[in-house]
């Protein structure tokens, strides 16, 4: 039964690190703000536009981070459910083998 356990662990570990090319994590598509030149910074409309660009970038990045964190949480929950199922199954198999 130990071989079955080791084989299961090896299989789980190898598939956990396998990643298909289509499942690459997307990078943020937020456009970074560009600092206006020193001469332009004295213009209030340029400063206002720059501040708006910074706020838009921050909002976009926070949205991206929230989405990534939600995916990580879902992946963690799925992994934990799979681990519990695996452990419960191995336990049941071991108990069935002992009963025979």
The domain locations on the chain are 28-99
Angle at which helices 2-17 and 44-99 cross, to 10°: 160
C-alpha span between 95 and 29 (Å, rounded)? 52
Lookup result for tokens 């949480």: 73
Tell me, what's the pLDDT at 41?
Answer: 87
Q: What is the dihedral of CA 35, 64, 28, 57, to 10 degrees?
A: -10
- Confidence class of residue 3 from pLDDT cuts 50, 70 and 90? low
Q: DSSP secondary-structure letter at 39?
A: T
Beta carbons of 60 and 32 less than 8 angstroms apart = no
Dump pLDDT digits (tens) for 11-70: 555 555 555 566 799 999 999 999 999 889 899 999 999 999 999 999 999 999 999 999
pLDDT digit string, tens, across residues 54-90: 999 999 999 999 999 999 999 999 999 999 999 999 9
- DSSP structure class, residue 43: S
Here the tokens at position 86 are 């695996």
């Amino acid at each position: 039964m130990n071989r079955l356990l080791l084989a299961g662990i090896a299989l789980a570990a190898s598939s956990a690190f396998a990643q298909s090319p289509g499942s690459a994590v997307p990078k943020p598509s937020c456009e970074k703000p560009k600092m206006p030149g020193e001469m332009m910074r004295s213009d209030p409309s340029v400063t206002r536009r720059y501040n708006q660009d910074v706020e838009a970038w921050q909002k976009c990045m926070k949205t991206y981070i929230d989405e990534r964190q939600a995916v990580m949480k879902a992946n963690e929950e799925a992994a934990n459910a799979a681990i519990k199922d695996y452990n419960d199954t191995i336990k049941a198999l071991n108990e069935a083998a002992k009963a025979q």
